[in-house]
Structure 1
Amino acid sequence: MAKTNKKQEYTTEKVLDSLNETAYKAENFFEKYSKIIIGVLGALTIIAIGYFIYLKTVLEPKSEKAFIEMAQADEYFKQDSVLLALKGSPGSFQGYEQIVDNYGGTKGGNIARYKAGVAYYRLGDYASAVASLEKFSTDDEILNAQKNGMIGNALVESGKLNEALPYYVKAAEGTNVEVIETMYYTKAGKLAIQLGQDADALKYFQVLANKYPNAGNGEVDKFVERLNYATGGNGK
């Protein structure tokens, strides 16, 4: 019993010695490199403060200017003067293109990029529409779905059907809004049929049939029935 106690005491002492040694090394390390550590922490603090100041004094006011400039372009867009909304009027107001160029790194500039993409699409410049919409980013799931759906539309109009299909699927999968899901899964399904991809088409229509039984006023069920037959009854 005495031997066991001595062994335990010895083990405890070893652990304590090890901890003390580790603490000693850490203390020495901090003393040795304290100036560097403090300098790095100070630099990080300065960067954080600098970014906050930049955000409040530069980016946010710049973004506000972008939205103010955009108001006039939006009015022309509503009046179907799409080209004028996109290009602006020199000396009068900036169009979406100029706002993207001048305020591209702000929220306002980002929204202008989306609107420019829509304008390009309306004007039949599908390559520019895709390029502009691809650069637009948002955390809003509905807006993101619309972005992907419009890219899909532009690619279809350009004859790039295989490239368009994944965008329709992304648009449908990106939201739980029934109208949007139904629209883009239906587009994906019809396009997949056109591309000879019946199994994929069945999958898209089956998702709708399972999730929204009345989707498409019965059209979805007809596609499911037809595609089940075409694929040998592989639907679930």
Structure 2
Amino acid sequence: MATYNKRGYKPKTKVEKQVEEEVIESTTAEVFNTLDETASKTEDFVAKNQKYIFIIIGVVAAVVLGSLAYKEYVAKPKQMEAMNDMFQAQKYFDQAVTGVEKDSLYNLALNGGEGKFGMLDIISEYSGTDSANLASYYAGTAYLRLKDYKNAIEHLSNFSSEDEILAPLAKGNIGDAFVQLNQKEDALSYYEEAANMRNNEYTTPMYLSKAGAVALDLGKADKALTYYKRIKDEFANSTEAANVDVFIGKAQVLANK
């Protein structure tokens, strides 16, 4: 392939070429010397501190293996045992929701019966398990139905979940408890959180409606109007949408005063 020299190009002399080659060789040698020095320093560091390095590696390995062993041989069996012990309490709770002797059944769900654990026992005996977490939801809801609102708030606040329905229900139940305690600002905050946690046809319009009602009660008509319009626009098929135009009209009147 032909090569082209720029105008004014002067070929390098033999001396210039020799100098250039020596510079390249010198630079290359410096690079390799630097690499050698770095490697040597690293080897010296490892040699001087290998005892501590091995200790650190050992500690990390022990933590990882210990965590895996705990999950496999402690946490899993403990969770299974908790689920078994929780079965009767959950049965009492379900019967309370659908039955007639609600108060006595909710108390049994909380405190146990027939020699079986209640939700409070599960929380105490199996702390840190998924079952104890779920028991906090059941306990909080049972206390809410028994009108023990402070205990309801305490236990529902200890519950955490990513579930589509249970997560907003827990927040909304706390809102219900604050309404009963006449702490409307707190109730509104929890209703708003419950409405915004998930976007579904059940919990979202329900808590938008409750937030709207409390907002109206607090004189926050503009905020209530926003909630009611969202029900109308986004959840037209929900139960709450059936009479939402009435509440929109009421909120508009109050907002314009």
TM over 0.5: yes
TM-score, structure 1 as length reference = 0.85
Q: Which residue of 2 aligns with 1:207?
A: 230
Gaps of 5+ in 1: none
Q: For residues 154-178 of structure 1, what are the alpha-carbon distances to aligned partners after superposition, in whole Å with 9 as ceiling and x for unaligned?
A: 1111111111111111111111212
Equivalent of 1:163, from 167, 186, 191? 186
Q: For residues 5-61 of structure 1, what are the alpha-carbon distances to aligned partners after superposition, in whole Å with 9 as ceiling and x for unaligned?
A: 877776666555545444443333233222212211211111221122222222221
Establish whether residue 72 from structure 1 lines up as the match of residue 95 from structure 2.
no
Q: Which residue of 1 aligns with 2:56?
A: 40
Q: Which residue of 1 aligns with 2:68?
A: 52
Q: For residues 109-136 of structure 1, what are the alpha-carbon distances to aligned partners after superposition, in whole Å with 9 as ceiling and x for unaligned?
A: 1111111111111111110011001111
Letter in 2 for 1:55: K
CA distance in 1, matches of 2:254, 2:35: 72
Q: For residues 88-111 of structure 1, what are the alpha-carbon distances to aligned partners after superposition, in whole Å with 9 as ceiling and x for unaligned?
A: 13x711111111110121111111
* Greater Cα radius of gyration, structure 1 or 2: 2
Equivalent residues, number: 232
CA distance in 2, matches of 1:200, 1:16: 71
TM-score, structure 2 as length reference = 0.78
Q: Decide whether the 8 Å contact of 2:93 with 2:138 is kept in 1.
A: no
CA distance in 1, matches of 2:34, 2:225: 66
CA distance in 1, matches of 2:84, 2:67: 24
Describe the shift of the 1:31–1:141 C-alpha distance in structure 2 as closer, same or farther (beyond 3 A).
farther
CA distance in 2, matches of 1:46, 1:159: 53
CA distance in 2, matches of 1:58, 1:93: 22
Fraction of identical pairs, as percent: 36
CA distance in 2, matches of 1:59, 1:113: 18
Q: For residues 182-230 of structure 1, what are the alpha-carbon distances to aligned partners after superposition, in whole Å with 9 as ceiling and x for unaligned?
A: 0011111111111111222233233334433455335334444553454
Give me the CA root mean square deviation.
2.7
